[in-house]
Amino acid sequence: MAELLFLLGTIVALFVGFNIGGATTGPAFGPAVGSNAISKTGAAALMSIFFMIGGWTIGRRVVETLGVELVTDPGVFTIESSIVVLFFIGGALFVGNYYGVPASTSMTAVGAIAGLGIATGELNWEVMGEIAVWWIVAPIVGFWVSGMIGRYFYPRINRWVAIDTTPGALFEFDRSGHVPRLRAGPNTTRREMVGGVTVIAIGSLMAFSSGTSNIANAIAPLVGAGADLNTMILLGGAAVAVGAFTIARRTLDTLGNDITDLPLTAAIVVAIVSSVIVVGLSAIGIPASFVIIATTSIIGLGWGRATRTTTLPEVVRGEKTPNVSVGALTAEEPGQEVPDIGAEDPRDIPSAADLFDPATTGRVIVMQNVVPILSTFGAYATFTLLFSFWW
């Protein structure tokens, strides 16, 4: 009976890993895919590799921490309770992936474990409170930093980076020889290649960071119940890879294309802002919800660019004008000269509706709050009802 339960627990853990791959590939490589720097298949491959490296190295420490610090008595993790916790983590993440919205695996996993802790009276409220505060602050910081960059500094950064995407793939395989070689695409410029490599490298860093924290969300309950750590890391990493190659395609579309028009320069900005915040949170021991941070950074940058204002030092007849919106500038009469103000040509800037999709944004925000709530209250209700049967 014990072997059967352990097998069932492993299957549920693999299901969780599958959904983690679907939920985290989008935030890590959505900017790169959205700017055509890498294909969805390439993003899935890099996600699989760097997630496994992160899980195998730093991730094993997080596995031990998650099952000890968040609850006052690790003994609450039995095979039976671990199966229930993993079931709600995987089920809630699947709901988000089904709707193409990458939910936070950290929030979902911590929510399910918190449900167990509340039902058993073993939740460490001090640790839970500290985590919750940072989960509120970090996305707000990501939104406003990216928003301010998009509103006031994006044109200057764009000129400095000077990366314009060209038709065709950034890289392609040369199959003329015995061994295929990776080379630049036929239309790829040197600057575009540097920018593409940069955003792909940052995505790989985010995939590594995801592995350091999110591998615990799939396997920590079972490891706490006695499963072998190394075996579970390998199995969890393989399940994440399957999710990255399959269900992650929907979240890559959502974060790379649907929320905001994301040229390569914007992709680099989003990736840097998100990764810096995630690394900062990890450094102080907070399980980083980089899905939420990356999403709000994308939203913030799109909002900032869509609402950007600029000042024209001179217009016709030499009169000074106050700040005017991008929308007003795009409505200038044909033939009217707009002085060079060291920014993007306002007539080349898409409308707010092109840069920032409120409908998609609303769906993302709603689902990213609903998914952790489902795991938390689902686990709490289940453990409250079944508590008397297990302890």
pLDDT tens-digit map of 48-85: 999 999 889 888 877 877 777 788 887 788 888 888 88
| pLDDT of 191 | 65
Among 175-184, 230-239, 305-314, which stretch is predicted with the lowest mean pLDDT?
Answer: 305-314
pLDDT tens profile 189-229: 666 777 778 878 888 988 988 888 788 888 888 887 778 88
| pLDDT of 343 | 46
| pLDDT of 226 | 78
| pLDDT of 128 | 87
Please give the structure tokens belonging to residue 255.
């974060």
Residue 106: pLDDT band (50, 70, 90) is: confident
Residue 145: pLDDT band (50, 70, 90) is: very high
| pLDDT of 140 | 93
| pLDDT of 255 | 57
Residue 98: pLDDT band (50, 70, 90) is: confident
Distances (CA, A) of 186 to 94, 174, 189, 193, 200: 39, 11, 9, 12, 19
Mean pLDDT comparison of 14-18, 167-171, 303-307, highest-scoring range: 14-18
Distances (CA, A) of 307 to 120, 152, 273, 369: 49, 10, 20, 26
| pLDDT of 137 | 92
Mean pLDDT comparison of 7-11, 91-95, 195-199, highest-scoring range: 7-11
Q: Is the pTM of this model over 0.85?
A: no
Residue 371 CB neighbour total at 10 angstroms: 29
Residue 141 has pLDDT above 90, yes or no: yes
DSSP string, 293-358: HHHHHHHHHHHHHHT-EE--S--GGG-----EEHHHHHTPPTT------SS--GGGSPPHHHH--H
| pLDDT of 364 | 66
Average pLDDT on 100-115 reads: 78
In the three-class reduction of DSSP (H, G, I as helix; E, B as strand; rest coil), residue 171 is classed as: strand
Cβ neighbors of 362 (< 8 A, separation 6 or more) are none
Residue type, 128: M
Residue 241: pLDDT band (50, 70, 90) is: very high
Residue 117 has pLDDT above 60, yes or no: yes
Taking each helix axis from N to C end, the angle separating 190-224 and 2-34, rounded to the nearest 10 degrees, works out to 160
Question: What sign has the CA pseudo-torsion 57, 63, 69, 73?
Answer: negative
Distances (CA, A) of 302 to 183, 189, 356: 32, 26, 5
Nearest CA to 291 among 374, 364, 202? 364
Tell me phi and psi for residue 27, to 5 degrees.
-60, -35
